[in-house]
Amino acid sequence: MTGRWLVVPLALTLAVAACSRHDENALPGTLERDRVELVADADEFIVTLPFPEGATVKAGDVIVVQDRSISTAELDAARAQLAEAEARLEELSNGPRATTIRAAVARRDQARVLRDQAVRERDRLLELVSRNLVSQSEADRQVSTARAADDSLREAEEEVRAPLDATLDALPWHVGEKPPRGATVAVLLANTTPYARIHVPEPMRARVKTGTPATIRVDGVDQEFRGQVRFVSSEAEFTPYYALTAADRSRLSFRAEVAFDGSDASELPSGLPLDVTLDLGQP
């Protein structure tokens, strides 16, 4: 009877030890996707945001429209002519008035209508040329007209387009605001297979390289995923190695990314916590 009771604690001890070894080898991290930041090409007001945050956009979709019809000099001149300081302060604090925005949108829409009309006429004449019903020179003139109309439309608006299929993660600026040239106006998360972002401890770094296989366990998901390391930073986080003692260096870590194999994880949301166990073989 005594022997039977001794076996149970021993089995529990082995199980706990196995779990401890597993926890020690697993590297915590988060599920991430490639991030794309789009910047403003012009120092102009935002007049339209066609998509809300969280929307799915396709490559080529317009996600931010800025007004290019009013130059900075013209805007400064208009402000200088304001009769009351309170009105000027409101203009500077809150951006352009609603009427200014509506006027900019109207100019853009009018330019778009003229461009579409010119393009339709160009296509009609080119069709007639192919049937020998009008001269090539007449069609060429309409081609030039359509090109000029398209240029006018581009002058009336500055469009920021999505370079790839993605989720619109953030719109830092709102309609009526004026981001400076080079400011981030949209943040996209690529609609591709995600990856695990982890930090590799310094003692393990020498054995981790691109292509190292890995097992990924995502919180709240029963399935285990296979993957492989796609990137390991060559620089340690926070403190350069040459400034530390041998004991301190063991506390350094190196940022790494582990790509999921296949597309099983493609529907998982970004930001989920996870653990990655790297297959490093024998040390």
DSSP run (H or E) holding 160: strand 157-161
Q: Which of 36-50, 68-82, 103-117 has the highest mean pLDDT?
A: 36-50
Does residue 263 surpass a pLDDT of 60?
Answer: yes
Q: Give the pair of three-digit tokens for residue 92.
A: 């500077």
Question: Taking 60 as the threshold, does the pLDDT of residue 243 lie above it?
Answer: no
Ranges of beta strands (E only) in 191-244 are 195-201, 213-218, 224-232
To the nearest whole number, what is the mean pLDDT of the chain? 75
Q: How confident is the model at residue 41 (pLDDT cuts 50, 70, 90)?
A: confident
- Which residue shows structure tokens 């007639």? 128
Q: What percent of the chain has pLDDT over 90?
A: 28
pLDDT at 207: 92
Quick count: other Cβ atoms within 10 Å of Cβ 158?
18
User: Model pTM?
Assistant: 0.54
* Structural domains of the chain in order of their starting residue, each with its CATH number: 36-190 (2.40.50.100), 193-278 (2.40.30.170)
